[in-house]
Amino acid sequence: MKVKSLLLVLAGNTLVALAVVLFLLPGGMITGGATGLAIAVNHYFDLPLSLFLFVFNLIMFLLGTFVLGRGFALTTLVSTFYYPFILEVLQNSGLSFELTSDRMLSTICGGLLMGFALGIVIRTGASTGGMDIPPLILKKKLGIPVSISLYAFDIAILLLQASFSDKEQILYGILLVLIYSITLDKVLVIGTGQIKVEIISQAYDEINQLILKDLNRGSTLIQANTGYLRKNQPLVLTVMSNRELVRLNRLVLTVDPEAFLIISQVKEVKGHGFSLTKEYRHHPSDQPLPQPEDHINV
């Protein structure tokens, strides 16, 4: 694991522990995952959260290593041992005080912080260990989708805590799980979303050159047939950031005020110019741009 990735995993686990210490424990909140299981065990057996999490994570780590292999073990090693440690440190550091007495505020802040922190860890390609492991094992052995089994485990853990929680705690617990799940999904795609633009215009060649030279973006020409006149005409496809869209729109309408633009949000883009470094290849101006073979009726 690279130093940068290691630091991000440590930071993510620290923020999860902070969410537990600052919002969940003072507010008497319940939650899913290994932390929720630890809260239930603490209530019934008075076992410290950090001790249970260490034992549980260690068991899950060994089980995951045996079933899923060494590659999996390397991505969960840090979280398995660091999270219980930092949780114990923060609990004994005097930070365990009530920032707010409002349960709703604790639920929102705790859920946002946990979702953001878990997203940091997962974006590095690492795992948080704990309750992440059983769904992965079920996926490998029984083919059960990870999302389904993960939600099933969370519901079971919430029900386990429901026996010693009031009705409001149960509702807030469900809301907390939803908030950190949605936040996690958003964090995983943050910074990777882009805008896809499809342009239909008779001035497609001039527009394409503007995209390549003025915007410094790549493009693809897709051979298409117009629906009414049945006219063969390339469709210009390009992907860019939100900020570049305004300039593209202005350039296109300057060339062809009647151009037809289809603009849509894409969650993630990979390849040269986005996830890979741009490559500049010489293209002789006297040679026509290659025409694609695919045909799309528009």
Q: What is the pLDDT of residues 80-139, one digit of tens each?
A: 889 999 988 888 876 655 677 888 999 999 999 998 998 888 888 777 778 888 888 888
How large a percentage of the chain has pLDDT more than 90? Answer: 20
What pLDDT is stored for residue 278 in this prediction? Answer: 61
Chain region(s) in the chain for CATH 3.30.70.120: 194-297
Closest by CA to 83, choosing from 27, 15, 133, 132, is 15
pTM of the model: 0.69
Burial of 245 (0-12, 13-18, 19+ CB in 10 A): middle
pLDDT band at 286 (very low <50, low <70, confident <90, very high): very low
194-297 is a CATH 3.30.70.120 domain: yes
pLDDT mean across residues, the chain: 83
What pLDDT is stored for residue 235 in this prediction? Answer: 92
- Mean pLDDT for 17-31 is 87
What pLDDT is stored for residue 298 in this prediction? Answer: 36
Q: Compute the distance between CA of residue 177 and CA of residue 77 in angstroms, rounded to an integer.
A: 25
| Nearby residues of 155 by Cβ (< 8 Å), 6 or more positions away | 32
